[in-house]
Amino acid sequence: MPFETTTKAFIQWLAEHNVSVSPKVEIADLRAQNQGRGLVATQDIKDDEVLFTIPRSAMLNVDNSSLVTDHPELRPKLFALNQWESLIITLLYEIQVKKQDSPWHQYFCMLPILDSDNYTFNQLMFWSEKDLKHLEPSLILDRIGKDISEAMYAKLFPTVVVQDLGLALLQLVTLEDYHRVASIIMSYSFDVDRPDFDSEEESEDEEDEDEEEDEENNKKPKNDNSKDASSKKAKQVKKNHDAQDDDASYDDAHLLNDGYFKSMIPLADTLNANTNLHNASLMYTEDNLVMKSIKPIRKGDQVYNIYSDHPNSEILRRYGYIEPNGSKYDFGEIPLGIIRDFFVQQSGLSVDSVQEIFSILNKVVEIEQEESEMVEIVLDSYDCFTTSEVILELIFLIQILTIISSIHRINSMELLAYEPKFQLVSRVFKKTYQLIESKRLTKVFLANFEQIIAQRLAQYPEVASEPFEEYGENIGQKSQDETRRIYAQVVLKSEVQSLKNCLKVEKTFQNGDFANYKFIDDGKFIRNIIKKRFSDDSTSEDEVTSKKARAT
């Protein structure tokens, strides 16, 4: 069916399902920009205007599906699955079994899964090895999640679907069909609170948060991948909230405990997203879902939702597009390996010794956690944001290793037995904690911090240092290979720009969480640690080291 005809049939479907749409917006063909369909303002819109209202009955989820209507006996088994599994089966049943008889058929005709005129699947899951090479050295390559997705397919088909649910008609669902449906859920679904959910199950904290949210007398359903830490439901699902995290087993009875349904919401999911141009949000009341403007929108402008605070790399992984001028939430990442190798080079410690220091730090944190809310500081990688902010864990680790390196140059750490080594690392940890608490860091820390970021930057190809450029209105006419190459370049530019912004240390250490930090001489701080430590210790190794320390 031609693109326009499909859109018109969908608009008709919306009217038949009591979706009321403001005359100030219309569905537009944005394929030239590689944006498929989107919503555009046909008149000026004020802040807080209702753009459309969707009754809950028009949503599709496991509770409100043909599968449960046709097979009410399957309800308990479907509800015992997790959100992802149940919605995948629900959608496959509508699309592959009910086909034209599905009440949502006209809606599915709009989705890429049935509308071959709409854009191709560009989520990283569908990229070839050759396409993915363009993304090196981005760490997003470690998070594509294809293996986890395939494990879910292997679990559902055929065991759960055929043996447990008796849906023989879904026996022939291929891995490709499954990936497409899973990608549609990833890019289009929302998590919508169940009005019938027993709030007694919620914790007091969650209720407090709810009260704050309720003040506005409406709530915001989270687009599938939300990680809004302040919202009630984001706490009930795991961080990032995608299939990679949602690996609960069949027996976990997830869905019933969640208090929300992962749902497809026709029309609400026609909105594209932009972190910088976000101008509309979906709210809900008991009976309806309501899309409202959150700022004035000019005639001709696109109406944009936001899919959460993701950097370009994650937007590409989950949704298959990028923001050409960078996401508001971009960050670059420093892998732990770079930090380890930097200190190996700088201090002469062996790789094994630095690894041992990491494992001691993990133990020290574990012990501290018994008393306080200490977080782990040895992570796989560290985020450096486009806002010039970095995570505290990065600062903490580099400062600790800076001090340990200096101590090692005075007295070889390699000579110490495990126990005194543990004591030393533990003491440096505590002293560094106090140093940071008093808003101080050392001068050598700063130099090391800059060099570590510089080493990460050196791993990127030159093109990633070039400024963002408009790739033009005609991106939709480029070949798939070319489009993906351009998208990968934009991701690398986002990361490089973020890392470079974190080199603007006057911003990094004078703003936000790290405002007004002072950089002190390392010598005095180190002397303080060594003096105290060696006067406290009595083991023979320590005495040797202590004498050496005093001699220097």
Ligand X SMILES: C[S@@+](CC[C@H](N)C(=O)[O-])C[C@H]1O[C@@H](n2cnc3c(N)ncnc32)[C@H](O)[C@@H]1O
CB neighbour list of residue 227: distance below 8 Å, 6 or more residues apart: 234, 239, 240, 241, 308, 309
Site track for ligand X across 415-434, x = CB under 6 A:
--------------------
On the CB side of 104, CA atoms within 13 Å amount to 26
Q: Which of 82, 231, 270, 483 binds ligand X (CB under 6 A)?
A: 270
The alpha-carbon radius of gyration of the chain (Å, integer) is 27
Token pair 């990032």 in the structure block, residue: 240
Q: Which of residues 37-96 bind ligand X (CB under 6 A)?
A: 37-38
Alpha-helix runs per DSSP H in 300-417 = 312-319, 336-347, 351-369, 392-410
For residues 63 and 323, which CB has a smaller minimum distance to ligand X in the complex? Answer: 323
| Of 272, 346, 388, 498, the one binding ligand X by CB under 6 A | 272
DSSP letter, residue 528 = H
**Binds ligand X by CB under 6 A, chosen from 78, 113, 182, 273:** 273
Alpha-carbon distance of 148 to 110, in angstroms, equals 28
Report in angstroms how near the CB of residue 267 gets to ligand X at its nearest: 10
Output 126 or 188, the one with its CB closest to ligand X: 188
Cα–Cα distance measured from residue 223 to residue 242, given in angstroms and rounded to the nearest whole number? 11
Tell me how far, at minimum, the Cβ of 304 lies from ligand X, in Å: 7
Instruction: Give the Cβ contact number of residue 117 at 10 Å.
Output: 13
Binding mask 382-421 for ligand X (x = CB under 6 A): ----------------------------------------
d(Cα 237, Cα 260) in Å, to the nearest integer?
Answer: 10
Site for ligand X, residues 313 to 332, rule: CB under 6 A: 319-321
In the bound state with ligand X, the residue whose beta carbon lies nearer, of 122 and 498, is 122
Q: In degrees, to the nearest 5, what angle opens at C-alpha 38 toward C-alphas 35 and 41?
A: 135
Q: How far is the CB of 232 from ligand X (least distance, A)?
A: 23
For residues 278 and 548, which CB has a smaller minimum distance to ligand X in the complex?
278
Closest among 40, 44, 49 to 301, alpha carbons compared: 40
Binding segment (CB under 6 A) for ligand X, from list 7-15, 148-156, 271-279, 365-373:
271-279
Number of residues that bind ligand X (CB under 6 A): 17
| Distance in Å, CB of 345 to ligand X, minimum | 42
Task: Work out whether 343 is an interface residue with ligand X (CB under 6 A).
Answer: no
Q: Is the dihedral of CA 66, 72, 76, 77 positive or negative?
A: negative
Helix residue spans in 392-521 (DSSP H): 392-410, 418-437, 443-457, 480-502, 505-508
Assess contact for 269 and 190: CB atoms under 8 A. Answer: yes
Half-sphere exposure of 521 (CA within 13 A, CB side): 4
- The pair of structure tokens assigned to 57 is 């009955």
411 CB-side CA count, 13 A: 26
Residue number with the smallest Cβ distance to ligand X:
36
Are 377 and 397 contacting, i.e. CB atoms less than 8 angstroms apart? yes
Compute the least distance from the CB of residue 222 to ligand X, in Å.
13
Chosen residue from 94, 191, 269, 356 binding ligand X by CB under 6 A = 269
Instruction: Kindly state the smallest distance separating residue 471's Cβ from ligand X, in Å.
Output: 12
Nearer to ligand X, 307 or 449 (CB): 307
Nearer to ligand X, 124 or 403 (CB): 124
Site for ligand X in 183-242 (CB under 6 A): 187-188
| 486 counts as binding ligand X under rule CB under 6 A | no
Smallest separation, CB 276 to ligand X (Å): 10
C-beta of 259 vs 320, nearer to ligand X: 320
Nearer to ligand X, 127 or 321 (CB): 321
Q: Which stretch binds ligand X (CB under 6 A): 70-78, 254-262, 265-273, 440-448?
A: 265-273
Query: Please, what is the minimum distance in Å from the beta carbon of residue 269 to ligand X?
Result: 4
Q: Is 36 or 326 the residue whose CB approaches ligand X more closely?
A: 36
Instruction: Assess contact for 427 and 105: CB atoms under 8 A.
Output: no
Closer by beta carbon to ligand X, 120 or else 459: 120
Distance of closest approach, residue 311 Cβ to ligand X, in angstroms: 14
Distance CA(284)–CA(320), nearest Å, equals 27
Q: What is the nearest approach in angstroms of ligand X to the Cβ of residue 302?
A: 8
DSSP conformation letters of 184-211: HHHHH-EEEE-TT--GGGS-HHHHHHHH
Least distance CB 480 / ligand X (angstroms): 13
Question: Min. distance of Cβ 486 from ligand X in angstroms?
Answer: 12
CA atoms of 177 and 157, how far apart (whole Å): 12
Does residue number 274 form part of the binding site for ligand X (CB under 6 A)? yes
The yes or no reply on residue 34 touching ligand X (CB under 6 A) is: yes
How crowded is residue 337: how many other Cβ atoms within 10 Å of its Cβ?
11
Counting other chains too, the contacts that 212-219 makes at CB distance below 8 Å and 24 or more residues apart are 216/283, 217/285, 218/283, 218/284, 218/285, 218/290, 219/193, 219/283, 219/284
Question: Taking CA 112 as the corner, what is the angle to CA 108 and CA 116, rounded to the nearest 5 degrees?
Answer: 105
Site string for ligand X, 148-187 (x = CB under 6 A): ---------------------------------------x
- How far apart are CB 537 and ligand X at their closest, in Å? 59
Binder of ligand X out of 64, 118, 426, 451 (CB under 6 A): 118
Tell the smallest beta-carbon distance from residue 272 to ligand X (Å).
Answer: 3
Which residues in 493-522 contact ligand X (CB under 6 A)? none
Return residues touching ligand X (CB under 6 A): 34-38, 118-119, 187-188, 269-270, 272-274, 319-321
